[in-house]
Structure 1
């Protein structure tokens, strides 16, 4: 999978990223979260995520998920209804490509 055409990068300090990761992970584990993700996808289409993405959750109009960088660092992503994807990263990982070719037929997990 190639990087999404409308990828925005927001650089935050590592503490803020870790806090956001914890909130996304916690919200995704709540009852009903997977149903909300399915509803978001049926309304807005499938987000740009590889099969390695995890902890999907809908927060307001936004679908958020966690995705590993090539070096294993986990970063939070946000997919918006207009097709924009935003990654929250530290300065060290801002220039990395987060997307790699996925196996044919692989689906992201909810």
Structure 2
């Protein structure tokens, strides 16, 4: 995570961020310099302040798309309305046609 880069891009001073976090500027400077790990509470506050996700703050660049398409939503709706036998048949059919994706 590069907290200093984010802070500078937001035109904030160390004192302003440390006041927001209710900590000493020296403590926040240690977060920026990697000499101290921020707690989850601090990460959540920084996420809100900087307008970025906690994942972004901790350097998790992998983005997982959790949205669903209209077809997937229709399948879920149909599945919920189907009887148990139809659900099992649908799952079995889909599993037969599963495509192995390269990761």
Please indicate, yes or no, whether the TM-score normalized by the shorter chain is above 0.5. no
TM-score of the pair, normalised by structure 2: 0.25
Larger radius of gyration: 2
Task: Please state which structure has a larger fraction of its residues in strand.
Answer: 1
> Which one has more relative contact order, counting CA pairs under 8 Å at least 6 apart?
1
Higher share in helix: 2
